[in-house]
Amino acid sequence: ETIKLFCPATIANVSCGFDVLGLCLDFGDVMTITKTSQKGISIKEITGADLPLDIKQNVAGVAGLALIERLNPDFGFEISIDKSIRAGSGIGSSAASAAGAVFGINALCGYPLSNKELVYYAMQGEALASGAPHADNVAPALLGGFTLVRSYDPLDIVPLPSPSELFVTVMHPQIELKTKDARSVLKENISLKKATIQCGNLGGLISGLYTNDYGLIGRSLHDELVEPVRSILIPYFNELKLAAANSGALGSGIAGSGPSVFALSQGQETAHETARSMSAILEATDIPFEIHISPI
């Protein structure tokens, strides 16, 4: 018995929701998982990326092991992954593999757990990749659309609606930025004033998603806490943001821990216009890039 899975890319944080908000994109990797008579997990091959096949060193292996420890099936799993999402791109490459592994294993066991329950096991893979078991990529990868991590302890995942005209443009400058490194520059403490601004925007964004209020979504796409510190790691960040604003995007920010930059737009045409404007910035440099447009 074999299952073939689409493992989507995701954008974590979405400006005002560091470690709690995420959204799912319509492109990603493909994973194949086959039931084996031998217990345990093995990784047969990985194409499209140079990643370890050792299950203890691989996010899919670590996430999968955490799940089989819970489910204890009397058979095993052989995983093959065809990666399209580059590691260190900021759009949830490790999350796609962790989420795919737990989803596929759960499916081959007859769906004993819900997708929400699988988030915890996928997070164990994220812990290996970034040093922190954050759920803001694996939750949207497993549930689709926008998701909120209302709480980590106890884990409480809340699926959110996506207004139908909302599109995302993702600009990926082809430099690698490790999440671990992008987390190490962050400050441990924040001021009450900054926390207040961030809470207002997170509430505003979520309210905008429920009420299809694109203006409110745009006004709320602001990051008071992380972007000012991290953006220095991203080449031409301010120029890319300005290009997005000038082309009519609702707002923009760092995709996850970067270096990708995302912009949200109302309507596909604006998302394309934003892609053209952002591309023009990096075309004038020697930085190679990829650009994607996706509904949410």
Among residues 86 and 272, whose Cβ is nearest to ligand HSE?
Answer: 86
Residues 6 or more apart whose CB falls under 8 angstroms from that of 226 comprise 13, 18, 186, 254
- Distance of closest approach, residue 15 Cβ to ligand HSE, in angstroms: 11
Among residues 223 and 273, whose Cβ is nearest to ligand HSE?
Answer: 223
Residues 6 or more apart whose CB falls under 8 angstroms from that of 239 comprise 281
What is the rounded distance in angstroms from the CA atom of residue 90 to the CA atom of residue 115?
23
- Distance of closest approach, residue 42 Cβ to ligand HSE, in angstroms: 27
Residue ranges in 253-272 that form contacts with ligand HSE under rule CB under 6 A? 256-257
Task: Check 126, 224, 227, 273 and give the catalytic one.
Answer: 126
Dihedral sign, Cα of residue 197, residue 199, residue 200, residue 204: positive
- Out of 9, 89, 136, 147, which residue is the one contacting ligand HSE (CB under 6 A)? 136
At residue 53, the 3 state secondary structure works out as coil
Task: Check 10, 147, 179, 274 and give the catalytic one.
Answer: 179
User: Is residue 10 flagged as an active site residue?
Assistant: no
> Is 291 within 8 Å of 172 (Cβ atoms)?
yes
User: Is residue 169 flagged as an active site residue?
Assistant: no
Among residues 113 and 182, whose Cβ is nearest to ligand HSE?
Answer: 182
Residue ranges in 163-192 that form contacts with ligand HSE under rule CB under 6 A? 179, 182-183
Residue carrying structure tokens 């997990």:
41
List the beta strands (DSSP E) in the chain.
2-12, 21-36, 40-47, 76-82, 146-152, 155-160, 166-173, 251-254, 261-266, 289-295
Residue ranges in 5-24 that form contacts with ligand HSE under rule CB under 6 A? 12-13, 18-19
Site for ligand HSE, rule CB under 6 A: 12-13, 18-19, 134, 136-137, 179, 182-183, 256-257
Which residues are part of the catalytic machinery? 126, 179
